[in-house]
């Protein structure tokens, strides 16, 4: 089997670290791993398959000889360096929002729209974490009954903001329990023992950028602009895994039992749905897992053809690192790299 030279941009961040771990766990055919980061992190060591590798500083010439470049360092870095990597001959899989809505750049979830990879572009966009887990569940249901409208409320872990946010939650929680002063640095308000209905910046329409990502990315990935989507996204004091309450209105009848059967056979989905035994998806159970979990599947009695779902997934894995690696795997499978 052919092996590939793989660069990971943002290698010391929360998602970058998870990308490297995922490459190892899935035994991706890596010939050379080239971890890249800012000058602040350059010189640090990371472990990959039992070997210590030094992190190099990200520069214009960092991509010589690279076949695949996984980016997870923010939109500004991606806009500057992703075209450089693509020009050097690498296939770029970018985790930022920089290119997601560009019409000529595929936005891909392999279980949902792998056909978008037919053309071999220089840059492929990895969708938003909260969007990924939702569309993995929605796509098989859409194929069965046609989705008319989606109303989603998210409960997103602090790891979606990065290492500093996770540390802030830990420190604030300790401070609250000790009766000490709470210091806020990452978020505008205390996150410990609190919920913030605010992820990313607010836009002129009153929605946040995160909420509009879910609206626009869902339509692009599903290939159907007629689907009505509205979202409210909130940050909760959880370290790992995003949870979502998803209300779906269909064009055709779809019973909870039918939905369970469909989702039980859907790729990347695991149904946990037995409320009588207190079995439903939990963030602590999804942490470290590859699947997207769904439960609390029940009829929405306020509309003719509606269901309510509870969807949970590890935002650093399926919501970011795993999906990016799966895109690369799918490209290899299709002979596109």
Question: What domains sit in the chain, N to C, each tagged with a CATH number?
Answer: 4-127+320-333 (3.40.50.720), 131-315 (3.30.360.10)
Joined together, the tokens standing for residue 114 give 């792998």
How much of the chain, in percent, has pLDDT values that exceed 90?
97
Q: What is the pLDDT of residues 252-265, one digit of tens each?
A: 999 999 999 999 99
Q: Does the structure show a pLDDT above 80 at 26?
A: yes
Quote the pLDDT of residue 300.
Answer: 98
pLDDT category at 120 given cuts 50, 70, 90 is low
Once rounded to an integer, what is the mean pLDDT over residues 152-168? 97
pLDDT at site 119: 66
3-class DSSP assignment, residue 147? strand
Do residues 331 and 70 touch, judged by C-beta distance below 8 A? no
Q: Enter the DSSP assignment of 54.
A: E
Structure-token match 């939109």, residue found = 75
Residue 242 annotated among the catalytic residues of the structure: yes
CB atoms within 10 A of CB 305: 18
With 70 as the cut, is the pLDDT of residue 315 above it? yes
Alpha helices in 273-321 (DSSP H): 283-286
Average pLDDT for 293-310: 98
Choose the weakest-confidence range: 6-20, 118-132, 256-270, 273-287. 118-132
Identify which of 237, 215, 233, 232 has the alpha carbon closest to the alpha carbon of residue 224. Answer: 215
**C-alpha distances in Å from residue 305, one per residue of 145, 230, 262, 265:** 9, 18, 16, 22
Q: Is the pLDDT of residue 121 over 90?
A: no
Six-digit token string for 9 = 């941009």
Q: What is the pLDDT of residue 1?
A: 79
Candidate from 26-35, 57-66, 111-120, 267-276 with smallest mean pLDDT: 111-120
- Given a cut of 90, whether residue 337 has pLDDT beyond it is no
Q: What share of the chain is helix, strand, coil (3-state, %, to 5)?
A: 35, 25, 40
- Rounded Cα distance between 138 and 250, Å, is 11
Average the pLDDT over 178-189 and give the result: 98
Comparing CA positions, the residue from 152, 106, 120, 150 lying closest to residue 311 is: 152
Cβ pair 168, 186 in contact under 8 A: yes
- 110-113: long-range contacts at Cβ-Cβ below 8 A with a sequence spacing of 24 or more? 110/323, 110/326, 110/327, 110/329, 110/330, 111/136, 111/139, 111/266, 111/267, 111/268, 111/269, 112/136, 112/139, 112/221, 112/222, 113/139, 113/221, 113/222, 113/223
129 is catalytic: yes
pLDDT of residue 5: 98
How far is 303 from 240, CA to CA, in rounded Å? 33
- Check if the beta carbon of residue 335 is closer than 8 Å to that of residue 316: no
Phi, psi of 149 (to 5 degrees): -150, 145
What pLDDT score was predicted for residue 92? 97
């Amino acid at each position: 089997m052919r092996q590939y030279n793989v660069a990971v941009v943002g290698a010391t961040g929360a998602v970058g670290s998870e990308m490297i771990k995922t490459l190892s766990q899935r035994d991706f055919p890596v010939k050379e791993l080239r971890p890249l980061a800012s000058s602040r992190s350059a010189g640090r060591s990371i472990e990959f398959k039992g070997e210590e590798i030094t992190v190099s500083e990200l520069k214009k010439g960092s991509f010589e000889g690279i076949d695949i470049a996984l980016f997870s360092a923010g939109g500004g870095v991606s806009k500057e360096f992703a075209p450089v990597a693509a020009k050097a001959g690498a296939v770029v899989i970018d985790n930022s929002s920089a290119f997601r809505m560009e019409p000529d750049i595929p936005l891909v979830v392999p279980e949902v729209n792998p056909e978008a990879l037919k053309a071999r572009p220089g840059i492929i966009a990895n969708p938003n974490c909260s969007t990924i887990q939702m569309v993995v569940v929605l796509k098989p249901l859409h194929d069965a009954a046609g989705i008319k409208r989606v109303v989603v409320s998210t409960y997103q872990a602090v790891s979606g903001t990065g290492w500093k946010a996770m540390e802030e939650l830990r420190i604030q929680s300790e401070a609250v329990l000790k009766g000490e002063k709470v210091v806020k640095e990452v978020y505008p308000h205390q996150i410990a023992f609190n919920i913030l209905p605010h992820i990313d910046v607010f836009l002129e329409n009153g929605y946040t950028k995160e909420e509009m990502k879910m609206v626009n990315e869902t339509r692009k990935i599903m290939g159907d602009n007629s689907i009505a989507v509205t979202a409210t996204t909130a940050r909760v004091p959880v370290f790992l895994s995003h949870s979502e309450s998803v209300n779906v209105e269909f064009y055709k009848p779809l019973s909870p039992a039918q939905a369970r059967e469909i989702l039980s056979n859907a790729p990347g989905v695991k149904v946990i749905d037995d409320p009588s035994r207190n079995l439903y998806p939990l963030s602590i159970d999804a942490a470290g897992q590859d699947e997207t979990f769904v439960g609390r599947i029940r009829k929405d009695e306020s509309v003719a053809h509606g269901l309510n779902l509870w969807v949970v997934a590890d935002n650093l894995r399926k919501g970011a690192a795993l999906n990016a690696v799966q895109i690369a795997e799918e490209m290899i499978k299709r002979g596109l790299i």
